[in-house]
Amino acid sequence: MASKTQTLALTLSLLILISSCKSSQAAGIATYWGQNSNEGTLADACNSGNYQFVNIAFLSTFGNNQTPVLNLAGHCDPSSGTCTGLSADIRTCQSKNIKVLLSIGGAAGSYSLTSADDARQVADYIWNNFLGGQSASRPLGDAVLDGVDFDIEAGGAQFYDELARSLNGHNAQAKTVYLAAAPQCPIPDAHLDGAIQTGLFDYVWVQFYNNPPCQYADGNADALLSSWNQWASVPATQVFLGIPAAPEAAPGGGFIPPDALKSQVLPTIKKSPKYGGIMLWGRQYDIDNGYSASIKDSI
C-alpha cells in the first residue's frame, strides 16, 4: 500500500500533467480556406498539422429573400453539385480534432438581414444545409460542419444577434454549433458588436489588419496591443489575434514578421485569460510564406 507521501506525490504529478496538457492545447491557429484555387485541398490544409480551425469561405449571399450562394472560387461549383466531395475532406479534418466552420459574409458578398424572422430563416437554412439538419441540397455533402464564422464586413449590423441566438438554439445537451466572429479591430465593430455582446461566441478572431489605427506598423506594436487589451474583455470564450500570413495578404497593412510577433506581441497577449491563439488570412498566403509553420511552436 502506498504511503500518504507517495499518494500526495502521485496526485501532484497528475495535476502537473493535466495542467501541462491543458496549456499545450490552450492556443491554436485558425485560417480561411476556399478563396484561391491554388491553395490546395481542404484535406491538404488539415494534413499540414498547422491549424486547429479552418473556416470554409464564403457563404457570400444570404438574407433579404435571396437564394443563399456558397462561393468557393475555383475549387468547385456548388450549383452543379461538384462541392459535395468536400465531405471526405471535412471528415479528414475532424478526425484530427480540427474544427471546420462555415464562414458567412466576406468582403465582397451580397448579404443582409432585414428582420429577426429573416435571421431565423437564414439560421434554419445553414442548420439544414451545413450543420446537423437535413436537406436534399447540401452543397458540401452530408458531412456536418462544427459551426459558423461571422465575417460580416458589409451591409447593416442589425439582426446578427438574432442569427447567433437562432444558431445557438440548436445546441441541446451537447455542443453541436460553435460560433466564431471576425470583427475589425476598431472597437466596437460596426457590424458585429451586437452579436458579440450576446456572449454566445466561442471564438472571436479580430482582424488586426487593413485597419491602421489598431494594427502593427513600422516595427511598433503599441496601437495593436492597446486595441488587444480592449478586445480581451469582450464576452467571448476565446479571443484570437487575426493577422495576414504575408504582406500581400493585406494591402492596407498589418503584417507582423514572425520574429516581431514572437518578441513584441505574443509575450503580452498570451497573458490574457481569453487568449485563444492566432488567426491567419489566409491559406494560400500561408503556403507561400510559411507563416504558421514558423510560429506554431510559440503561440
pLDDT tens, residue by residue, 156-181: 999 999 999 999 999 987 789 999 99
Domain boundaries, the chain: 28-298
- Cα Rg, the chain, nearest whole Å: 20
Name the architecture of domain 28-298: Alpha-Beta Barrel (3.20)
Looking at residue 174, its pLDDT comes to 77
pLDDT digits (tens, 9 = 90+) for 62-100: 999 999 999 999 999 999 999 999 999 999 999 999 999
CA 176, 299, 33, 118 dihedral sign is positive
Alpha helices for the chain (secondary structure H): 4-25, 42-47, 86-95, 116-130, 160-168, 193-196, 222-231, 258-260, 266-269, 283-289, 291-295
- DSSP letters, 242-285, are EEESSGGG-TT-----HHHIIIIIHHHHTTSTTEEEEEEE-HHH
DSSP 3-state of 166:
helix
Write out the catalytic residue numbers.
153
As a whole number, mean pLDDT of residues 17-35 equals 68
What are the tens digits of pLDDT across the range 114-148? Answer: 999 999 999 999 999 999 999 999 999 999 999 99
Write down the pTM of the prediction: 0.91
Write the pLDDT tens digit of every residue in 213-254: 999 999 999 999 999 999 999 999 999 999 999 999 999 999
